[in-house]
Amino acid sequence: MRKIFHRVLLLALFLASFTLISSASTKQQETKHDPVAINMQRKLLGYVPEAKKAALQNLEDVLLEPPRAASGKSRVYLKRTKYLPDLMGDSLESYPRRIFIDVGLPEKNGGIGTDWFGKTYPTRNQKFEMYKLETVVEGGPQIEMSDWLRKNVKEEEYVVMKAEAEVVEEMVRSRAIMLVDELFLECKPQLGNKKKENRRAYWECLALYGKLRDEGVAVHQWWG
C-alpha cells in the first residue's frame, strides 16, 4: 500500500512539474509574438528580445556619408524608411496611449512641422497624441527631456520621437531613452572647415546612431 501511495505521489509531482514547464513555455511563445509584451520586456528589463533585434536588423541602411543638400530633404528620405510597426507586424491597438513628440529648437522659416508624421507614419488608423516641444524657451531655462518624459510617459505606452542629437544624448545618459520605441534622429554634420554651432563630425552622428540601435531603439536618420 505504501509503495502504491509513493508511486502515486511521484506521478503527481511529475505531472505538476510538467504543467509548470508547459505553462512557462506557452507564455514564452506568446510573448515572443506579442509586440506589446516585447515592448514591455525591453522597457522594464532593459534588454532587447530576439524578435526586436531581428526587426532592428531590417531597418533601412544608415547613410555612411551625409546627403548632398539637393537630396537631403526629409520628405525624400522618408520614402525609404522602414517603420517599426511594419517590421514588427504591430497593429498598435493594444497600447493605452500612442504618442508622437517633436523636440527641437524653435522652427525657422516655417520648418517642416509635424504634418509629415500623419502623412507617412503607419498609424494603423490609431489616434496619436501630438506634442511639439522646444528645447529652449524664450526667457526660460532649457527643457530636460528626460524629466519631461518620466513625468508624461509610461512604460506601457507607444512613443515615437523626433529629436536633435544633443537632446538624445542627454536621454541616453539618463536612460530615459528606454521610454522611446522609435526615434527620428536629427544629427547635423559639420561640413567644410567652418565650424557651426550644434554641428559635429559625421562619424559622431554614426556612433550615436549605433549606440541607439544597441539600446533597442528603432532609430532613423532625419535630414531637416
Residues 22 and 48 in one domain: no
Residues 105 and 8 in one domain: no
Residues 65 and 146 in one domain: yes
Cα separation, 4 vs 224, whole angstroms: 77
Residues 19 and 72 in one domain: no
Determine the distance from the C-alpha atom of residue 106 to the mean position of all C-alpha atoms in its chain, rounded to a whole number: 24
Residues 159 and 48 in one domain: yes
- pLDDT number for residue 112: 54
Q: Which domain holds residue 11?
A: 1-32
> How is residue 5 written as a grid cell?
501511495
What's the chain's Rg over C-alpha atoms? 23
Spatial contact of 102 and 131, defined as CB atoms under 8 Å apart = yes
- The length of the chain is 224
For residue 66, name the pLDDT band (cuts at 50, 70, 90).
Answer: confident
Nearest to 31 by CA among 44, 18, 12: 44
Q: What percent of the chain has pLDDT over 70?
A: 63
**Among the listed ranges 54-63, 144-153, 186-195, 210-219, which one has the minimum average pLDDT value?**
186-195
Residues 94 and 189 in one domain: yes
Please count the structural domains in the chain. Answer: 2
**Which runs of E-coded beta strand occur in the chain?**
98-104, 129-134, 158-164, 182-186, 218-222
- Against a cut of 0.85, is the pTM above it? no
